[in-house]
Structure formats: C-alpha cells, structure tokens
Structure 1
Amino acid sequence: MAARSLPPHLLPPPPAKRDNFGKSEDIIKIELENVSLWKQFSTVGTEMIITKKGRRMFPQLKVKVSGLNPSLRYILLLDIIPVDSFRYRFQDDNWQVVGGAEARLPDRVFIHPDSPATGEHWQNRTISFHRAKLTNNTLDGQGYIILHSLHKYQARVHVVETRDVMMWGGAQHTFTFPETQFITVTAYQNNKV
C-alpha cells in the first residue's frame, strides 16, 4: 500500500527556527515603500537605463523592514540577478525574445552604506538604495553592479545578521518583489515608459 500524506491544513506547524542564542528567530518582513510607482512601470514593462559610467536606478528601490532584533546588528545588501536566460529586443510595441543570454557576469552586491547597523536603526526609517549604480561596463573598477543590456533582471534585498562588515555568518534572509523586474537598456525603447 502506498504511503499517503496528510492535507496541508492538517499538518502540524513547522518548528520555529532557532538562532545561536536558543531564542525563536523573529519573522523578518520587508515591504516595498514606493510599490505604486514600481507597479506603474511594471504594467508597461520597466526599462532600466544602464551606462558605461554607471547610472542610478529609477525608480529607486526603497524598503521598510520589520521583525529585526533591535539590539543585533545587520547588513543590508542589494543584488540583481537574471530572471531568465534570454536576450530581448523591443519590436512591434513589446519586448520579444531574440536569442540566448550573454554569459553571466560576476555577481556584485551593493552594501547599504549604513551597514552594519542595529535592528533598531533599520526599523526606524525608510531604507533607500539610491546610491547603487548599474553599468554595462564589464571592466568596471568602481564596484558598480554590472549588467548586460537587453536582458531581464530582478532586484533582491538581503538582510544578514552580523557582528561586523567583515564577519558575516548569521542568519540571512532574501526578499524579492515581482514589481522590481526590469529590462536593461541604454535608452528607453517603449514610449509609455
């Protein structure tokens, strides 16, 4: 006789995660502060301009975090990862796949300049990643996030518990927002943008 599993609503709740101090881990949440602006762009297909010299993101990525332990220290990071393995072209008023993606570039992260800071610090403000710059310069020496033009990407925010910037190792939480997907361009293609 085959094993049967219980329906999800009858399963016991999973055990609470434990940190190094034996206390239950807080439930960390992040919400996108300027979600309405991101949704406006997302409905027409967000395009993000990248240049050789580096360009700041627009719309800006702003978040609000909760559920952190007020006395522990955390680093907040931004990275941007490919959504798929395709290259795109804007044709007939929409984005179409035209081939395979270029080889993935080295992953780079933008460490928020307030890092590391206490949970209390992060929870008492809107956190903006407006200083992060994107570039298509594969030889960039400035530390900007390097992306290929005409590829689709997803922004991610990471919250990492730490003792200091050089010693990461605590719990790490990663957050994505579907509205923050975008296609990289060197000039806007869609006139609705």
Structure 2
Amino acid sequence: MHFLCRSSGRMFPTVRVSFSGPLRQTTPSDRYVVLLDVVPMDSRRYRYAYHRSSWLVAGKADPPPPARLYAHPDTPIGPDALRKQVISFEKVKLTNNEMDKNGQVEERKFRKADKARMSSPYGWVKRCGKAKALRGGGAKVARCSWFTGLFAPSPVAASIVLNSMHRYQPRIHLVRLVPGQNIPNSPKELQEVDHKTYVFPETVFTAVTAYQNQLITKLKIDSNPFAKGFRDSSRLTDFDSYSGM
C-alpha cells in the first residue's frame, strides 16, 4: 500500500533501478533520461474487508487523473555514467490532489547567470552548479546536468496524481535522446522517442488515504526514513501493544 495526501508525500518504499550491458548510442552526444510513471492495473475500485483481511472489488474505477511522467533529476546522462550509478526515485511524490503545485510540469528558461556556465555541443546545453570540494578534500568538482536547448522540465515537478483505493503499477522508461530532442512530458510524447519500458510486478500497490492494517502502519513508520517524526515512543504505544497481543 502507498499512502496518499492532498499536499503530496514521498513514495515509500522507493523505486531504485540500475542498468547494465550495452546501450545504443548513435552519436557521442546521445544522452539517456530515466522516467517513472504509475499506471492503473485495471478498471476497478477496491475496498478492504477487515473480517477477511483482504481486498475486494468495490465497483468501477474512478476517472483517472492526467497522466504524468517524472524525469529523474540526474538525467539526461551518457551511457557510461548511467551504468555506474543506481537511479533512485526517492524524491518522487504521490498525491490525490490534481491541483498540487508540485505536479505541474513547467518550462523554465535559464537566467543570464546560468548561461555564463553553459556550453552547447550539437544543440545540447550543459548547466553546471558551483564547484564544491569532495569529501576528504582535494580538487573542487562542479556537478553538471545536460538539457536540450534553453528549456528543461522544472525540477519541482515531482508529484504523480493517483486515485485512492485503486491498484497501480509503477513503470520505468529508459529514453535515448539525440541532440535536438526534448525530455518527454507525457505518455504521448514518450511514444515519439526511442525508449524501452520496464515493468516489475512486485512493485504493484494499492493507493490509500489511510492504512488499512495497524501492523503495516507500524512497519512503515519503523522503516520509512521520512517518518522520523512518528518514531516517538509516546506515539507508538498503541502499535506496540497491538503487536504484542
């Protein structure tokens, strides 16, 4: 189960993926972007039956919210860099509020100060942050990201809108971008670029606005790094007494 709220909350457990093997690259300037979306598993709405401790079909699904793609902030990157790191979607958020401002995909133009730190080979734009010293000292290194043109999806577009009491399947999309192509912002745009989709059945979940099982609630609080405020002993008294029965 994943918990939904109107103000959006981080997805937990976190989806993490890594890539290995040869990756197609037609030119040295090709870059890869990793996208995540969450799609309905079926056309049904569910309810939790406490006496059975199971989910039952409660009717037809509600109209789906607008589909959104979340682009990992460390991409686009080259194939060698992609194979060396784990792509963690720890910053993606889930909400049941279509008006949540974190879910609006915006286009942002770089400021003049940003342009001074850019180079643009074959239509790609490189944006580098302020150089920082690595842990342990040594030379300073600037973290850089690549975008196409002078526009890129806003990094605050971090929320995916879902309906409560519906079942969902997260999907990972590996997209190869050639110079001049933009990062897809919708499933329709995704179909227009070279990509491959990965689906992991073990990541299927039911979206809820309240957990249906106290043991699940305690497990989430104990394991979720974003639930630190709930791990106060006074707030866990009820859960501890329940688990000891």
Q: What is the TM-score when the length of structure 1 is the normalising length?
A: 0.71
Q: Alpha-carbon deviations, 1:92-133, whole Å to 9, x = none?
A: 211111011000111001100012111111110111001100
Specify the alignment match of 1:118 in structure 2: 78
Q: Alpha-carbon deviations, 1:125-153, whole Å to 9, x = none?
A: 11100110010002222111000001000
Take 1:59 and 1:177, find their aligned partners in 2: how far apart are those partners?
A: 14
Within 5 Å, which residues of 2 pair with 1:19-30? none
Q: Alpha-carbon deviations, 1:3-53, whole Å to 9, x = none?
A: xxxxxxxxxxxxxxxxxxxxxxxxxxxxxxxxxxxxxxxxxxxx0011111
Structure with the larger helix share: 2
Runs of 4+ in 1 over 6 A off after TM superposition: none
CA contact (8 A) 2:96 2:164 kept: yes
Kindly provide the amino acid, as one letter, of the partner of residue 62 in structure 1: R
Q: Percent identity?
A: 41
Within 5 Å, which residues of 2 pair with 1:54-73? 54-67=8-21, 68-69=23-24, 72-73=30-31
Specify the alignment match of 2:208 in structure 1: 185
Is 1:80 matched with 2:38?
yes
* Number of residue pairs aligned between Structure 1 and Structure 2: 147
Unaligned runs of 5+ in 2: 104-158, 185-191, 217-245
Specify the alignment match of 1:50 in structure 2: 4
Structure with the larger strand share: 1
Take 2:193 and 2:36, find their aligned partners in 1: how far apart are those partners?
A: 17
CA contact (8 A) 2:33 2:183 kept: no
Residue 166 of structure 2: which of 133, 139, 151 is its match?
A: 151
Within 5 Å, which residues of 2 pair with 1:90-169? 90-91=48-49, 92=51, 93-143=53-103, 144-163=159-178, 166=182
Shift of 1:191: 3.4
Take 1:115 and 1:139, find their aligned partners in 2: how far apart are those partners?
A: 26
Take 2:7 and 2:82, find their aligned partners in 1: how far apart are those partners?
A: 30
Within 5 Å, which residues of 2 pair with 1:33-44? none
Q: Alpha-carbon deviations, 1:54-92, whole Å to 9, x = none?
A: 111111001111232475311100000000011111112
Q: What is the TM-score when the length of structure 2 is the normalising length?
A: 0.57
Shift of 1:190: 2.5
Shift of 1:163: 2.9
